[in-house]
Amino acid sequence: MQSPLIPEDESLRLAALRELGILDTPSEERFDQITATVKLLFDAPIVLVSLVDEKRQWFKSRQGLDAFEIARDISFCGHTILGDDVFVVEDALQDPRFQDNPLVTGEPCIRFYAGAPLSGLNGLKLGTLCVIDRKPREFDQRMRAQLRGLAQWAERELNLAGEISLVAARIQLEKMKHEFISTVSHELRTPLTSILGSLALIAGGVAGTLPVQTRPLIEVAHRNAQRLTRLINDILDIDKIESGQMQFNLCAQELTPIVRQAIEANRSYAEQYGVEFVLAHELPGARSEVDSDRLNQVLANLLSNAAKFSPAKTEVTVVIERRQGSIRIAVSDRGPGIPPEFRSRIFQKFSQSDASDTRQKGGTGLGLSIAKALVEQMKGSIGFDSSPQSGTTFFVDLPEARAPELAKNNGRGIGKIDDHP
């Protein structure tokens, strides 16, 4: 007896077979229809849709056979998956490879075998559609072509089953991810809030005057706790955005007060870097339909990035202006500019121009990705201009909303909005 050889791509083949998620699953009518059709067409006592596992041949559908699997080293189908075409043994007792095979000398007493390989989407041979008889038979080219055609039917069903299994696995993975992030939210944010509060109180002198050597250590701990909190918040925001669970309270609002509020809220952060925020041009009365909290979140990211990458004793300028029906909020720094090789992926998650362990600027690499998603939810867009000579300008363009009285007048055919300052 000649046992089937092991394919050169065996590890990849087995991995693809596992990914199907179909091994040891119950019988299904769509596969049984195939084997029943083949049995009728070829008037054969045994027809199988089989999958060749590491040490066994398992039957997804079977006609005329009680067993669910057999050992791979005595299987005929193990030989079939080594080739691309129909594998035929017209008389096993006359074939040296099979004449002493226990499947030939004992039950089910195979004398004739014809099998067509079944491939996965990646082309790897995963199993067979095979016809078995207990007496010798001839199998001409017409019959081979018929079996090949029916094998394509079986392949389609096999790969469809794999796709369904993959979708189910992805759904389960997403559920596990959301559950994990929810756990992180509760188990990390709660103690971090306590740690931050305690450190702030200690730094504020509640526990008495700190020794000179202790104060820098408390400040370092406080900064790193804040950094970890920002990272957790960013991860939670990304998850909410991707799952569509982030809530937006959109309403037409004047933009200048929101920009002023963001500047004031982040001014102390800029002072750490010796940088000043300046509102160089505002646009009183300009309105857009936004969520003020989410827009503040976007502006906080742009302002903090600008401060972080600006030279000391320079200004970060903020400009509000009209742009053909849109309101642009632009934040400009005098920093070194964005490296050309980084510009195409600047809005991707976890992207940083300096990704080394020793990078000088902190950050999670999530802020701009979150900002882009938030702006797009408010029907706007975000972009940037950058050069080593003039620094970087990030801008947010938001659709301008009509003031209520103008919208009312315009409905009667009187009054219109001027698109120019």
Which pLDDT value is given to residue 406?
A: 47
Closest to 97 (Cα-Cα) out of 78, 70, 83, 117: 78
Structure tokens at 318: 């903020």
Alpha-carbon distance 263 to 222, whole Å?
A: 23
Fold of 251-411: Heat Shock Protein 90 (3.30.565)
pLDDT in tens, the chain (421 residues): 899 999 999 999 999 998 888 899 998 999 999 999 999 999 999 999 999 999 999 999 999 999 999 999 999 999 999 999 999 999 999 999 999 999 999 999 999 999 999 998 888 999 999 999 999 999 999 999 999 999 999 998 888 877 766 666 677 777 777 777 777 666 777 788 888 888 888 888 887 888 888 888 888 888 788 778 777 777 777 777 877 778 899 999 999 999 999 999 999 899 989 999 999 999 999 999 999 999 999 999 999 999 999 999 999 999 999 988 899 999 999 999 998 888 888 998 766 655 443 344 555 678 899 999 999 999 999 999 998 878 999 999 999 997 655 445 444 433 333 343 3
The answer to whether 98 and 76 have CB atoms below 8 angstroms apart is yes
Closest to 96 (Cα-Cα) out of 190, 216, 198, 2: 2
Alpha-carbon distance 124 to 44, whole Å?
A: 28
The answer to whether 32 and 49 have CB atoms below 8 angstroms apart is no
**Coil/strand/helix, residue 73:** helix
Alpha-carbon distance 243 to 16, whole Å?
A: 29
Which pLDDT value is given to residue 416?
A: 36
Which pLDDT value is given to residue 356?
A: 40
Structure tokens at 261: 């509020």
Which pLDDT value is given to residue 236?
A: 78
The answer to whether 65 and 82 have CB atoms below 8 angstroms apart is no
Which pLDDT value is given to residue 420?
A: 38
Structure tokens at 311: 């030279």
The C-alpha angle 395, 401, 407, rounded to 5 degrees, equals: 160
Closest to 345 (Cα-Cα) out of 322, 369, 326, 328: 369
Which pLDDT value is given to residue 403?
A: 64
Alpha-carbon distance 310 to 302, whole Å?
A: 12
Strand partners, 57: 52, 70
Rounded to the nearest 5°, which phi and psi values hold at 396?
A: -120, 125
Task: Report the DSSP pairing between strands 314-323 and 275-281.
Answer: parallel
**Coil/strand/helix, residue 46:** strand
Which pLDDT value is given to residue 205?
A: 81
Fold of 10-168: Beta-Lactamase (3.30.450)
The answer to whether 60 and 25 have CB atoms below 8 angstroms apart is yes
If residue 103 lies in a helix (H) or strand (E), which one and from where to where? helix 102-105
Going from the C-alpha of 181 to that of each of 176, 239, 351, 370, the distances in angstroms are: 9, 8, 21, 16
Domain boundaries, the chain: 10-168, 170-243, 251-411
Residue with tokens 């072509």: 145
Same fold, 10-168 and 251-411: no
Closest to 373 (Cα-Cα) out of 298, 281, 277: 298
**Coil/strand/helix, residue 166:** helix
The answer to whether 332 and 391 have CB atoms below 8 angstroms apart is yes
